[in-house]
Amino acid sequence: MQYSYIEYFDGWEKIFPSGNLIEFQQKSYIELDSMVIDNDKEAKYIKGRKALYQAKCPICQDVMSFNKGSKTVNKNPYFFHLDKEQCFSFESLAHAKTKKYLYELFSKAGYIVKEEKRHKDISRADVAVLQTIDGKEELKLAIEVQASNIRTSNITKRTNIYFEENVPTAWVLILDSFFPPKEKEVNGEKIYTDSYSGTRISSFNPETNSYEYTYISPLKEEYFFITGENNKAFNYLMDIYHVIVTVDHNGHVFLIRRTPESSKLGVDALLENREHSTQDDIFLVNRIAEPDIVPILLETELLRAPHSENDTRLKKNTQLNEEFKGQIHRSDSDPTNLVDAAIEFDKARQIEEALNSIELARKAREDMKIAYTNKLLEIEQQKAEERRRQEETLAEQMAKDYMCDLYNRYKKEFSMLVERMETEKVQFELYSIGNW
C-alpha cells in the first residue's frame, strides 16, 4: 500500500521531511507516502520490527514496514504489514475508510467479502463481493472505490476484465477527492473552494459574517452541478451506468443521476459522437439511507465499457492539489476550519426516513433506456426520411433522364424523317423535270 501513518511527535519534520501532518479523530498523525519517502534518510527509521518509529495501518492498527520496490521488475515502493498478509490496500484514509464501510455493510448482509487478487494485469478490486453457490465461492460484484481522477481507459480496462467473467463492476466515488477543490488566494492566503455543488445548502449568517452549510434533507432531491473543470471520467461513468453512488468526507452517502432532460442531451451527444462536458449536464442528487446502499450496488448492471476515442492523459491541474491530497480540506467559508479527510460513516445510519433510492436508481436507468430508444428511433426515422428523399430524387432524375432520352430519340428520328423527305422531294422534282 502507498500510505502509512505515524503518531505525532515534536520535531517530526526533521526526521520525516517528506511527511504530511493530518488530523484524524482529534489526534495528529504524520502521513508517509511510499512514492516520495527518502529510502536512505527516512525509511531507515520505520524498517523492521525494531524500528525507532512505528508506521501503522489506520484500519487494522497493525505495524507496517517499508519496501523500496524494484526497478528490475517494475515494482513501486510500498508499505506492508509485518504480521498480517491481508488488509485493505488504499491510497488515503478516506479511501480506506470507505472500503472498510462497504466491507462491513456487505458482510452484515450475509455476503463473503474479500479483496480480489485473481488478475495480474490490473490492481485488485477494492471490495470483492462473493456468494456461495453449490458449495463454491463465486464472485458476484466487484466494487472500485475511486478517490481521485482517473483515465477513462483505466475504467474501461477494470470494468471489462470483470465483464468477461460475467461480473458487474460498481464504482463508488469520493466526491471531495474525485472533484479536486479549486485553489484561490484571499488576502494572501490559499484556500480551496468546492468543485461541485448540490449536496449542501448554504446560507449567510450576518452575526458570524460567514456562510453556514446544511446538508440536503433525506426526503428531498436537489440539483447537482460540477463547478470545477470538465471531468471526463465522471461523464464516462455516467454514460455507462446512468447512476453513481458517491460519498463525501463528512460521511454522507449520495445517489447522483442525470435529469431526464440532461439524459436526452447526453444520449444525443453520445450517439452523434459529440463532446459532452460535465458543465453541460444537470444532475439530481439525494442522500441514501444505509439499508439502501447494498441493494443499489447489487443492482449494478453487467455492462461492457466502450473504448473512449477521446481519452487523453490527465492534465496536471486536474489531479488533487498536493496540499489537499487525501488529507486536509480548507473550507472557503472558514479559512481556519480543518475538515478531516478520514470518513466516519454514521450519517447514512442516522437517517430514519428517506427517499427510495433504489426506485430512483431504477427510474434513472429506465429514463436513460427510454431516451436511448427514442433517439435511436429518431435516428432511424431521419435515415428513413433521408432514404425516401434520396429515392424520390433518384426517381425524379431517372424520369428526367428517360424523358431526355425519349426526346433525343424523337429528335433524331424526326431529323432522319426530315432528311428523308428532303431527299424524296429532290428526287421527285428531278423525276418531274425529266418527264416534262
Q: Are 77 and 35 in contact (CB under 8 A)?
A: yes
Place of cell 444537470: 282
pLDDT of residue 335: 28
pLDDT confidence tier of residue 320, bands split at 50, 70 and 90: very low
Q: Which amino acid is at 189?
A: E
Average pLDDT in the 187-208 region? 79
Q: Which of 28, 265, 312, 13 is nearest to 150 (CA)?
A: 312
Q: Which residue has the higher pLDDT, 230 or 60?
A: 230
Q: Are strands 63-67 and 169-174 parallel, antiparallel or unpaired?
A: unpaired
pLDDT confidence tier of residue 166, bands split at 50, 70 and 90: very high
Residues sharing a CB contact under 8 Å with residue 112, sequence separation 6 or more, in sequence order: 129, 130, 131, 132, 137
Q: Are 18 and 37 in contact (CB under 8 A)?
A: yes
Q: DSSP alpha helices (H): ranges in 109-231?
A: 152-163, 175-178
pLDDT of residue 408: 92
Least confident of 246-255, 273-282, 321-330: 321-330
pLDDT in tens, 8-35: 999 999 999 998 888 766 778 898 888 7
> What's the CA gap between 381 and 62, in Å, rounded?
64
What secondary structure does DSSP assign to 87-134, as a single string? ----SSHHHHHHHHHHHHHHHHTT-EEE-----SSSPPPSEEEEEEET
Q: Which of 186, 185, 184 is nearest to 194 (CA)?
A: 184
